[in-house]
Chain A
Amino acid sequence: MSEWRRVFLSKKRLGIALLLLVFCVGLYVYSLTDTRNPSPYSLKSTIASSRAAAELAEKLEGLPIEEISERIDEYLGRIRDYELWYIYSDDPATYAAVGNSEIVTAEDAEALIRDIPYLYAAKDNRDMFLQGYIAFSRAVGGLKDQTEYLMGYRDYLEGIQAQAKQQSQVGIFSSGSGFSQKNLTKTAKDFEGLADVEVAFGSNAGVESWLSFDFNDYAYLIAIIVTVLAFLEERKKGLWSAIRSCRGGRLPLGLSRLGILAAAAVGFALLIYGSTFVAALGLNGGWGGLNRPLQSLESFRTCAVRTTILGWLIRYFALKAASGMLIGLLLWCLLGSVANIQFSLSVLLGILAGEYILYEFLPVQSVFNVLKYFNLFSYVHTSGLYTDYLNVNLFGFPVGIRRLMLITLPIAGAILLVRALMIQTKRYPEGNKDILSKLSAVINRFFDIFRSRLTIGGWEAYKTLILEFGVVIMAVILVLSRSIYCLYNLTEQDYWYQEYLEELEGPIDESTYDYLARARENIRGSMNEFQLESSLDRLEAEVEKRVRAAEKGGFEPWLVDEKVYESCYGPTAKNAQYRSAALALLFVAFCAAGISAYEQQSGVTLLVRSLKRGRRRLFAAKAVCAAAMAVFVWAAVYIKEFLDFLKFQTPDTFGAPVQNIDALVGFPLKISFGEYLIILYSLRLLMLIFASFAVLLISRHCATLQSAYIVCVTLLAAPALLSVLGVDALKYISPMVPVSSAGQLWAIGSGSLSSVIPWVVWSAIGMTALIAAGVGWGKTGALKNRAGD
Chain B
Amino acid sequence: MKLELKDLTKRYGDLTALDSFTLTFEPGIYGILGANGAGKSTMMNLITDNLKRDGGEILFDGRDILEMGDEFRAVLGYMPQQQGIYERMTAESFVSYIGRLKGLKGKELRRQVDDVLKLTNLDNVRHKAVGQFSGGMKQRALLAQALLGDPKVLILDEPTAGLDPRERIRIREFISELAKDRIVLLATHIVTDIESVADKVILMKKGKLIKSDTPENLIASLPEDWQPVAHYPSLEDVYMFFLGD
Minimum CB–CB distance for B96 against chain A, Å = 4
- Tell me if A451 and B96 are in contact (CB < 8 A): yes
With a cutoff of 8 Å between Cβ atoms, the chain A residues found around residue B103 in the complex are 612-613
B116 interface residue (CB < 8 Å to A): no
Determine whether the beta carbon of B50 is less than 8 Å from that of A609. yes
Q: A452-B109, A610-B73, A789-B41 are in contact. Are A441 and B127 (CB under 8 A)?
A: yes
Q: Is B180 an interface residue (CB 8 A)?
A: no
Task: Say yes or no for A493: interface residue by CB 8 A criterion.
Answer: no
A607 to B101, CA, bound (A): 10
Question: Which A residues are CB-close (under 8 A) to B82?
Answer: 603, 606
A387 at the interface (CB under 8 A from B): no
Classify chain A: how many residues form its interface, as a range.
Answer: 35 or more
Q: Which residues of A contact B48 (CB under 8 A)?
A: 606, 609-610
Does residue B70 face the partner (Cβ distance < 8 Å to A)? yes
Kindly identify, within residues 445 to 489 of chain A, every residue whose CB is under 8 Å from any CB belonging to chain B: 445, 448, 451-452, 454-456, 459, 463, 467
CB distance from A458 to the nearest CB of B (A): 9
Stretch at the interface among B20-28, B32-40, B225-233: B32-40
B100 in complex: contacting residue of A456, A463, A467, A610, CB < 8 Å: A456
Q: Mark A201-232, 1 if CB is under 8 A from B, else 0.
A: 00000000000000000000000000000000
Is the beta-carbon distance between A787 and B37 smaller than 8 angstroms? yes
A786 to B15, CA, bound (A): 10
Chain A residues with CB below 8 A from B101, complex form: 456, 608, 611-614, 617-618
Which residues of A from 589 to 626 have beta carbons under 8 Å from B?
602-618
Q: Chain B nearest CB: distance from A213 CB in Å?
A: 35
Collect the chain B residues with CB atoms within 8 Å of residue A610's CB. Answer: 48-50, 73, 76, 78, 155
Residues on B with beta carbons closer than 8 Å to the beta carbon of A646: none
Which of A89-97, A408-416, A777-785 participates in binding chain B?
Answer: A777-785
Contacts of B89 in A (CB 8 A): 467
Neighbouring B residues of A611 by C-beta, 8 Å: 73, 76, 98, 101-102
Supposing A451-B93, A459-B97 touch, asked if A789 and B129 sit within 8 A by C-beta, the answer is no
Chain B residues with CB below 8 A from A615, complex form = 69-70, 73
Inter-subunit contact B73/A614 (CB<8 Å): yes
For residue A376, give the distance in angstroms from its CB to the closest CB of chain B. 27
Using CB atoms, name the residue of chain B closest to A787: B12
Given the known A-B contacts A607-B80, A780-B66, are A613 and B50 also in contact in the complex, defined by CB atoms under 8 Å? no
A337 → B minimal CB distance (Å): 18
- Which residue of B has the minimal Cβ distance to A442? B127
Question: Taking the complex as formed, is B86 at the interface, i.e. its CB lies under 8 A from any CB of chain A?
Answer: yes
A781 touches B127 (CB 8 A): no
Is the CB of B223 closer than 8 A to any CB of chain A? no
Q: How far is the CB of B204 from chain A (nearest CB, A)?
A: 10
B92 within 8 A of partner (CB): yes
- In the complex, whether A340 has a CB less than 8 A from a CB of chain B is yes
CA distance A610 to B80 in the complex (A): 10
Considering the chains assembled together, what is the distance between the CA atoms of A618 and B132 in angstroms?
Answer: 26
Contact B102 A607 (CB under 8 A): no
Closest to B93 in A: A451
CB distance from B50 to the nearest CB of A (A): 5
Do the beta carbons of B45 and A606 come within 8 Å of each other? yes
Could you tell me the distance in whole angstroms from the C-beta of A566 to the nearest C-beta in chain B?
50
- At the interface, yes or no: A174 with Cβ under 8 Å from chain B? no
CA gap between A787 and B70 in the complex, in Å: 27
Q: Kindly list chain B residues whose C-beta atoms are within 8 Å of the C-beta of A618.
A: 101
Q: How far is the CB of A189 from chain B (nearest CB, A)?
A: 56
Judged by a CB distance under 8 angstroms, whether B42 is at the interface is yes
> Chain A nearest CB: distance from B146 CB in Å?
9
Asked whether B70 lies within 8 Å of A783 as measured between CB atoms, the reply is no
Per-residue interface assignment for chain B, residues 75 to 105, with 1 indicating a CB less than 8 Å from any chain A CB and 0 otherwise: 0101010111111111011001110111101
Given contacts A602-B85, A604-B85, A614-B73, contact A788 B41 (CB under 8 A): yes
- Asked if A432 is at the interface of the complex by the 8 Å CB criterion, the answer is no
Listed in ascending order, the chain B residues whose CB lies under 8 Å from chain A are 12-13, 15, 17, 34-42, 45, 48-53, 66, 69-70, 73-74, 76, 78, 80, 82-90, 92-93, 96-98, 100-103, 105, 109-110, 113, 126-129, 131-132, 142, 145, 149, 155
Given A342-B129, A608-B98, A789-B38, 17 more A-B residue pairs with CB atoms under 8 Å apart are A444-B128, A448-B126, A451-B93, A452-B110, A607-B142, A609-B48, A610-B73, A611-B101, A612-B73, A614-B73, A781-B49, A781-B53, A782-B50, A783-B52, A785-B13, A787-B15, A789-B40
